Every structure is written in structure tokens, then in C-alpha cells.
Amino acid sequence: MKKETFIVEGLHCASCVSRVEEKLKSLKGVKSANVNLASGTALVEYDENLINPSEMKSSVDSLGYIFKIIKTKSVVVKVGGLHCASCVAKLENSLKTHKGILEANVNLATNKAFITFDGSIIDERKIKDIISSTGYEPLDYIDVDAEKIELAKKKNNFIFSAIFSLPLLIITMADHFNIFRFFENDKLYALIQLILATPVLFFGREFYINGIKTLIKSKTSTMDTLVALGTGTAYLYSFYETIVIFTDGHAMASHLYYETSAVLITFILLGRYLEAIAKGKTSSAIKKLIKLLPSTAIVIKNGKEVEVSINELAVGDLIVVKSGQRIPVDGVVVEGYSSVDESMITGESIPVEKKMGDSVIGGTLNTTGSIVFKASSVGSNTMLSQIIRLVEEAQGSKAPIQKLVDKISAIFVPTVFVIALISFAIWKLSGFDTYVSAKAFISVLIIACPCSLGLATPTAIIVGTGLGAERGILFKNAEILEKLSHVNMIVLDKTGTLTYGRPEVIDINTFNCDEKDFLRYLASIERLSSHPLADSILRKYNSNDYYEVVDFVN
């Protein structure tokens, strides 16, 4: 089965969508057809052996629509600079407005953009240019070490900010609540606050850099804009008052808001650090799948066994896999005999015997003998790579509830800014001074953080699909996960579909012998065996008391 996206011109309403879908589904070889009115596209899953796109075109064209066969491609781009739901909405909208991009889903939890496009109109380089022009940074896939470095950077930014902001908070709050004033001299008091607050702004400089960059490049605002505006206002106002204190002395050091700026930045840096930890955990399932593949393989070249990187393998290579090693890619056995544990793919607990002519799957474990096989699929074409891609696509897809969140996020930041201005005006008109009114303005900007709004659903999807993948359950998209909450019955097509992934002893016939002694004799023999059933017998025996065995042959 093949999935392909086509353009359908002439769609005007839901009735048009229904007509095209029904026509496509009626064609022999078409398994499913989903027509999208908004994008004017049709996603069709079909059997290439039974039908081709030209036949689909003829059928849809006969209805009065124009069915265009396009060069559909997909790409996953790692994106830097995504911090909130507004960032996601802004980038998605920017991508979708460009001709040739058929679909764009941005996932905040993984910092990835899943893009489907017409390769005849636009290419990957242009897509990355669009991402850059929107104010974000397209990245190459970073390795685990780079992720650890980034996590450490966020941790250090928080710790250093806390080192400066905590004493600043203690000094100012003790004065605010008339508990104790550390500095009687206003000039010294203001200067100490300035010295403690300024380094915190340095550690939180990404808010100002990203916020300004977004405003300049795309004329829109994000969460970084709110943070920069709120904390920046507090700091600049306090800095101005500090100058007044040093020049004419009319201002009061107790009316400075350095601690507001510093403490808020510190808390948000803590949030970013915790968010990075959560993101790292959510992608652990895919990392575990990737780890199933060995980094190197033994290839026969010119009659000699040579160890090469798995990335250098090509279709047709003769690969040697010894007992206890994982099979690097898909292929067909040409020499040797062994048993292979394929439970990660099939769920079957007992290893499968492999001989000449049998297929082997990359990532599975060779348990006993040594085999030589010819590679038939390498790289992204292996079964394990396709499973990883399926899991990634499911994690990148959006549940129906997430689409509602996206609509809210698109207007969230400007709405918050307007509410903040209204708050300032109401407090000011109510007779309060500028200090109190400004504090209300800053509080609204900072407290209205949409991070949880953008992270909640994507994180739940990633955890759900990831845990499913670890247990051998694959979800095609996020919508299925949401619908599962309404499922009250699951029907399985055959006995033994669900297993523990290993054989278990469920009954023993001792032939009138003592069961414990019978198991002892049996376990004493089986502990020397490498057969998969031997492990199940040893687990059942669960003791270290064995008889001595001589002349054992495996």
C-alpha cells in the first residue's frame, strides 16, 4: 500500500468533498481517501498493483473537478527558538501560506516541524529559508551529547539567576514588609539592587533577543515578547528611578522594581529548564528504538570480514551476524543456521529459526548460531526505520483538541497585551499611582504564560505514542489516541495475539514424581542450554540448588 497526496481544484463545500471521497473509495485498489477542503488536497492510500494515479485523475475529472498529480515529499525539520503555543501557531501559519506546502504540523514538545510539500514547486532549502524568515532557526538533528549540553546550559542559567535574584528578593521584601532594612542610604540601596538585577537579565537574554527578533522579522509577538516587555519595563523604569535618586534624590529606593524583573526571569528560566527535562523524557521511546540497531556491522569484502559503520551498508552487501549480536539491516539469509528473537516486531515470544532463504529484520537479536545474509533494505527503508518514522509522524500529528488550542494561541499574545494595557488604565483611573498601575501591567503580561497551553496536548501525545511503541503498539496519528478514551471493548483477531514477549511455564506433568525434585533435575540440565525454552524452565524453578550434570551436549 502507498500513501500519496494529490491536489483537487474546484472544491467549494462539504458536498464537493463527499463526492470526491466517495468516487475515489469506489475505485478498485483504493483503501482510503481523505479530502481536505481547506487545503484542496486528497490523501489517498492505494495498492500500486491495482490502480495508478492517472486512473484516479480520470475518475475525479469526470465529476467536474481537476485532479492534479504532484510530486509529494515529506520532511521533518528540527526547529530552534520555539517556546510557546503562539510560536507554533505563527510558524505553521507562515509555512502554510507559501505555495507548494500542502501540510505543516509543528510540535512544541519535540521542537520539530512535519511538512508535506510539492517537490516540483518548493524544496527543503526554501522551506528552511521560510522558517528562518519567520524568526526561528532550522537545525540539523542534534545528538544526545548536544541535547545534554543544551539542558546543562538551561540549568546553569537558572542557577546563576537564582544566586543573584534570591538575595535581591530577601533585601527588598524585608524592607517592603517593614521587617528590616539592610541599607538606610537610598543611593546605596538602589545601587545594590541594580548590581544584583543586571546579571539576571544577562542570563535571561534569550527572551529579549528572541522577542525583538520576532517583532522585527515577522511583525508578530510571542511569549518571549511578553516576558521581554514585562521584565524590561520593570527594569528600565527602576533604572530611570535610580538615576533620579542619584541626581536630585526625589525618588525612593523602596519604589524600585528590580526584584520583580529578576525574580520573574528566574522563575521562567526554571520553567524552561523543567520543560527541557520533560521534552527529553518524551522522546525516550524513539531513542530506545534507535538503540536497537548496532552502530557497526561485519561485512564480507574480497573474502575478508571487515567491520564498517551501519551508515556505509548498501543493498547487496554480505553481512555476518554472530550469536548474541543484533541484525543491522533487513535481508535474506544465504549461509548458516540460527534462531532469531523477533519479539520486538512480531510480539512472538519464541525465537524463529532461520536458514538459507529466510528473511531477517534489522534490530532483531540473533540468539544462537552464526549467519551470513544479503542486505535487501538499508537506511530509512528498513522495517525498524519505518516503525520509527510511523511513531514520529504519530507524535507530530495533532489531535482534534489541539486544533482548538492552535486557534486560541493565534490570538493569545495580542489579547494578553491588550488586557495588560486595560489593567494599567483601570488602576490608574481608579486613583492608584504609576507604581501600582505598572505592577498590574507587568503582572498580566508575565502570569499569562501560554507554555502549558502549547505543551500539554503534544506532551501527552508523545508520552502515549512512545509508551505504546515500547510495548509494541503503534498509533497512526494523535486522533486515534483521543478516540481511544471512548473505547470500551477491544476485539483481537486470534488467540495468542497478546503475549509477555517470552515463553512461560503454565503447567507441569511430573509423571507421579515429586514436582520440586522433578524441576530440580530438569533445571539442572536446562541451565546449560541456550534454547529459549530453557530460560522459562529456570524462571519456574527459581532456585540455585542444582544437580551436577556431566557429558552435556547442547
Taking residue 444's Cβ as centre, other Cβ atoms within 10 Å add up to 20
- Judge whether 493 counts as a catalytic residue: yes
Return the beta strands (E) in 37-165 as ranges: 41-46, 66-68, 72-80, 101-107, 112-118, 137-139
Q: Grid coordinates in use for 305?
A: 570480514
Q: Can you give the length of the chain in residues? A: 554
Map grid coordinates 529459526 to a residue.
353
Tell me the CA distances in angstroms from 433 to 106, 240, 257, 439, 490, one per residue in order: 44, 17, 14, 10, 64
Closest to 137 in 3D by CA, of 52, 221, 213: 213
Which of the residues 493, 507, 545, 551 is marked catalytic? 493
State the helix-helix crossing angle for 186-203 and 205-218, rounded to 10 degrees: 60
Task: Evaluate whether 442 touches 233 at the Cβ level (below 8 Å).
Answer: yes
Counting runs of H as helices and runs of E as strands, what totals does the chain give?
A: 18, 17
Residue 69: DSSP 8-state: -
CA 345 to chain centre: 22
Closest to 160 in 3D by CA, of 80, 271, 260, 262: 262
Tell me the CA distances in angstroms from 120 to 129, 133, 495, one per residue in order: 17, 22, 48
Supply the residues annotated as catalytic: 493
